[in-house]
Structure 1
Amino acid sequence: MKTAPLIAALATSVVAQTTTTSSPTTEFTLQANNITAIFIPYGARLVSLQVPDRNGRSTDVAVGYDNSSMYPVDTATNHTYFGAVVGRYANRIKNHTFTIDGNTYNVPGNEHGGLNTLHGGNVGYDQRNWTVLAHNDSSVSFSLLDTSFENFPGTVLTTATYSVSSYPSGPQGQPRPRLTTKLVSVALDLPTPIMLSNHIYWNLNAFQASNILNDTYIWMPYSDRYIQTDGILIPNGTFGLTSQNPGLDFQSPKRIGAAVDQTSGHDYCGTNCTGIDNAFILDRPANIGADSVVPVFHMWSQTTGIQMDMSTNQQGIQIYTCVSQNGTIPVKPSQLRNSTGAAQYINPYGCIAIEPQAYIDGINNPQWGVDNLEIFSPETGPSVNYATYDFSTF
């Protein structure tokens, strides 16, 4: 028996009975031991995340704005996607076109003069005012009913649930803070691409340096492959080995600045670009399963002593070292008050975006065999993007 009509009726009921906040920039503060996070309905986005540094000082490691009313302004100007959910399809779609079951769909081309679609089109999920389903002191859930937004086929109901918690860890049993993110999307009527991601920008040195090149390290032990692209970051259908491209090899811990130096002349982040803006594949060992929730990404700052360990069920991750930032967006005043204030503006390489997701443009590369990760219908299970971010100090 098809469940689509029942789910569609439930979706209508849920949206009708929940209370939309009076403002898309209303703040919802979540707290647990040693962690405070703030979210707003506009883009179901994270606007602040505070955890202790090695000296016990509360430190905001999320990049964005203190004044939440600035996020719509950002969309109309820089359009950074700071902290938002991006979708219905994160990252890029070649020629803003895809085919499902013999039907070809065209969605808005909103990048490179219309050559491709980025993060869902002209008005993606990051610009939508999500409905608040539930919230308490440590969690908040938002919902979005996508009725063929941006010409994507069919109707999709998504819930984004965020929670904070802490648990004893380490020899002294000190509380280790955790942020958990869960994006669940159900296709209600037609087969459709779904690939959401949280587009959070991080700075673990909390702008106590002008950038993150010299003090911040990355380790991705399972990322031995990456998706090769053309000069505008559209996949060319092939995979590369990170071991043969040192600027993208994080299978052992590496300082971000050393990696960026090794990308010079290789156009990894686009034509004539130095830096990282690449989609990595998370090839977990066979004995732990391709979609196992295990730590796949580690990052730490020598300046603050803050370490972040991310676990996810996703099989890919986009890493972007803020190569397009030009020093015009001010650092949050609250971050400057709580640090030495070495950086007054978000400079090139002043942050890093970490986007757990499936394969960029997988819907146009059937040879990869990832349709089960990116194409959903009423007959399939939901799309689930799950991640935890654990913080500690050293």
Structure 2
Amino acid sequence: MMQTQQKPITVEDQTWTEYTLKNDHGMEVNFLDFGGIITSLYTPNHEGEFENVVIGFNDYREYLNNKNFFGALIGRVAGRIENSQFTVNGETYELPANEGAHHLHGGTVGLHNVRYQVELIEGAEMASAVLYHTSMDGEGGYPGTVKFKITYTLTNDNDFSIEYEAFSDKDTILTLTNHSYFNLSGDLKDTVLAHEVEIDAEQFVELDEELIPTGKLLPVRNTVFDFTTAHQIADGVNSGDPQNKVAGDGYDHYFVFDQKKPYNVKVSEPRSGRVLTVKTDQPGMVMYTSNNLDRSLTLKERTSAKYLGVCLETQASPASVSHDGFPSIYLDAHDVYRKTTTFNFSTQA
């Protein structure tokens, strides 16, 4: 029987709960009922040594002002909404701007900083935690009362899946993701520059100087955005490509999946032998290589630094509210939003 655990965490005048899902092989996922934040995730390297492979704060109080969204659930809309506004059924909605003139990751009142009700489920081959939250009509500027049900599941196959379900009583916009920063070196021993990435995508979205999509889908062929065969994150960081430059010498771009391979993304770290494979029914993903992470934060294992993690934000595209031809984030009233992303952890010699 797989294990679940929970312990109270006192954060200023609040009491949170940290939950643990642990499988029979020792893989372990820890998360908070605050923001659904994944605080640590332990997987073995090729020698069987378990280490943490996500970025997390050393002091839980830092999650109260989690500007980098470490490990958090993101919504109602993951990504940037241009000029903090959108139109549904001819009515324009104004959202609070929290990144220049734009609205990022649901704004200041988003899924990253709410408390969830949590239900634990234990089974012989899996352990799950179901997170529930209701966002009222108008909250964060969005129309519709939305009921969220998000399920974290760990299996004995070393699969960690996140299933997102949402139901709105009004036409609205919605796309959800998780904002974990992965680092397969283990315990943040190194940056992710030597991580090798493969993405099943032949197009990516062009960004302007404010990281807002221009409306153009660009081919990856003959660029450092071509991850159809694996190459290092460092290639883009050092490329001088104008699109890498606008993102702060790295990646913060949406890739449109082709669904040609049995997986959407594969990340490997040669020294540890760890391999992370991602499979999702989302239409694409933002890959963010922590280009703007500064050295001011105290993390579990070390101080923060640029390129210390890679985010694999599977989602639809907020550009669809401003441009045609992008994976839509519109959700009709009474339709059920249901998406699943599965992260599999393995090793190679």
TM-score by length of 2: 0.90
Partner of 2:339: 385
Instruction: Provide Cα deviations, 1:156-205, integer angstroms capped at 9, x if missing partner.
Output: 111111011123xxxxxxxxx11111111111x21000111111111000
- Answer with 1 or 2: which has the greater Rg: 1
2:308 corresponds, among 339, 343, 350, to 350
Amino acid at match of 1:253: A
Long gaps (5+) in structure 1: 1-20, 168-176, 289-293, 334-343
Partner of 2:153: 163
| Pair 104,150 (structure 1): closer, same or farther in 2 beyond 3 Å | same
Instruction: Provide Cα deviations, 1:230-262, integer angstroms capped at 9, x if missing partner.
Output: 111111111001114x22111101011123222
Partner of 2:3: none
| Pair 379,160 (structure 1): closer, same or farther in 2 beyond 3 Å | closer
Partner of 1:231: 209
Partner of 1:302: 270
Partner of 2:114: 128
2:284 corresponds, among 289, 312, 316, to 316
Kept in 2: contact 1:179–1:388 (CA 8 A): yes
Measure the CA separation in 2 of the matches of 1:26 and 1:368.
42
**SS of match in other structure, 2:228:** coil
TM-score by length of 1: 0.80
Paired positions, count: 333
**SS of match in other structure, 2:244:** coil
**2:330 is the alignment partner of 1:375:** yes
**SS of match in other structure, 2:238:** helix
1:105 corresponds, among 86, 93, 97, to 93
Structure 1 segments of 4 or more deviating over 6 A? none
Kept in 2: contact 1:30–1:136 (CA 8 A): no
Q: Shift of residue 116 of structure 1?
A: 0.8
Instruction: Provide Cα deviations, 1:101-125, integer angstroms capped at 9, x if missing partner.
Output: 111111111102xx11000112211
1:38 corresponds, among 11, 30, 34, to 30
- Percentage identity across aligned positions? 24
Higher share in strand:
2
Partner of 2:197: 218
Kept in 1: contact 2:52–2:187 (CA 8 A): no
Measure the CA separation in 1 of the matches of 2:179 and 2:15.
18
**SS of match in other structure, 1:325:** coil
Kept in 2: contact 1:26–1:40 (CA 8 A): yes
Measure the CA separation in 1 of the matches of 2:52 and 2:155.
16
Long gaps (5+) in structure 2: 1-8
Kept in 1: contact 2:236–2:244 (CA 8 A): no
Higher share in helix:
1
Q: Shift of residue 144 of structure 1?
A: 1.1
Q: Shift of residue 59 of structure 1?
A: 1.1
1:317-336 counterparts in 2 under 5 A?
317-333=285-301
